[in-house]
Amino acid sequence: MFSDDTRQKLKNIVSGIIIEEQTDTCTAVRNILCASFSTSTTVKKDFESKSIVKEEQVGFLKNYCANNNLWVHDLPGEDTHTPYTFLGFAAKEHSLQAVLSQPFIASDALADLADVKKLLAFNGFENTRRNDYLNKELGLILEDMHDENVIVNSDTLFFIDTVFYTISGETNT
């Protein structure tokens, strides 16, 4: 179950609220984006139409990276994943990419999608279709929650390579 602290952090992210008590690089970049661009929820169908704002944000972030030594030139090797650590940014093939690292987690059992559904329901997510979920309170849509994107270790579910969107007043995906 999400703790009240986790719920508040998710609400802050979705709402674009600046987080002042944390000083890590990821929060600093998030805060500078929130302060420099108006927050806009992105429904899946609107995602591609935000390209002009995305281009402005890319230019802004490239400048921020140069001024704050956040360019990553030697990319870490890939491993298998769960919680992310933000390392910085890289430019590859004319695109700006966030560089993240995750610890290796070995799966010791196959994920049961019924367990995924039960855990998400317990945390306020409703199954909207197949492997997609919606939490109206948090304003989040989770997609791609299939058995290849959820691994099990010591009876704990770890979610990897899933997709999420924020929602505004509408709930249609």
Whether the CB-CB separation of 131 and 113 falls below 8 Å is answered with yes
CA distances from 97 to 73, 111, 163 (A): 12, 30, 16
Tokens standing for 65? Answer: 């990276």
Q: What is the pLDDT of residue 132?
A: 93
pTM over 0.75: no
Per-residue pLDDT of the chain (173 residues; tens, 9 = 90+): 556 676 777 677 667 777 777 777 778 887 888 788 766 555 555 656 666 777 888 888 888 888 988 887 776 665 446 567 888 888 888 888 888 887 777 889 989 999 999 999 998 999 999 999 999 888 888 998 888 888 899 999 888 878 878 776 544 44
> Do 128 and 118 touch, CB atoms closer than 8 A?
no
Strands annotated E in the chain? 85-92, 95-101, 126-129, 132-135, 140-143, 150-153, 156-159, 163-166
